[in-house]
Structure 1
Amino acid sequence: MADLETVLKEIREFRRETTDGINGIREDLKLTNGRIDEAEKRIGETEERVQCVEEATCELIKLQRKLEEKLIDQEGRARRDNTRLHGIKEGAESGAMCAFVETLQREKHELPATG
């Protein structure tokens, strides 16, 4: 009978230790699940922010292309308004263009026709 009581006592002690171990595992599992939930939340928020940044980048690229097209058009229009004097070296005016053209007209009496 003493042997059965000893076996029963050991079984109860083993059961208590096992229960304590399982409870510890459950606590660890709860903590791990909490960390996973927090990580999933942060990943979701990060994905949303990345999507917003990508959308903003696409809009900025479209705007940049539009502004580049406008700039090229304006540069072209500005060049169309320039007067070209053929037969005169580049940089010969060395100062105010109006005064140079007046002097050139006086010297030549008339500018040659350009065509």
Structure 2
Amino acid sequence: MIDGNYEDVKDRLVKDSRIVKYVRKFPDDDSYRRLVDAMCVQKNYKQAFVYAHTLKGLAQTLGFTELALCSSAVTEELRNDRYALAEAKLPDLTRAYNATISAIAFFLKQSSEH
């Protein structure tokens, strides 16, 4: 997993096949895109909180530790109505998200070659 503990993820999802199934689906989830749109375009911070919280939960479940930490930081700032701080933390979340997506793409490419 990406900066995560595989055994913790396996405890939650039980089977390797289930882990792979959800890792494959993660890039299709639109929580990150919707978070950025809600926060940066619409300035709808209540809705942004929902998307940040969803992203945090997915990242925690799948063992994407850095993404979970960054999305948690944004979630907490939004929860406490500290919108400027949430926006200031968005670049870190974006880097973690992009790194996660890149790692998943690498994993999928490697697994398709075997």
Same fold (TM over 0.5): no
| TM-score bucket of the superposed structures, by smaller chain | under 0.3
Larger-gyration structure (1/2):
1
- TM-score, with structure 1 as normaliser: 0.26
- TM-score, with structure 2 as normaliser: 0.26
More helix by proportion, 1 or 2? 2
Larger relative contact order (Cα-Cα within 8 Å, sequence gap ≥ 6) = 2
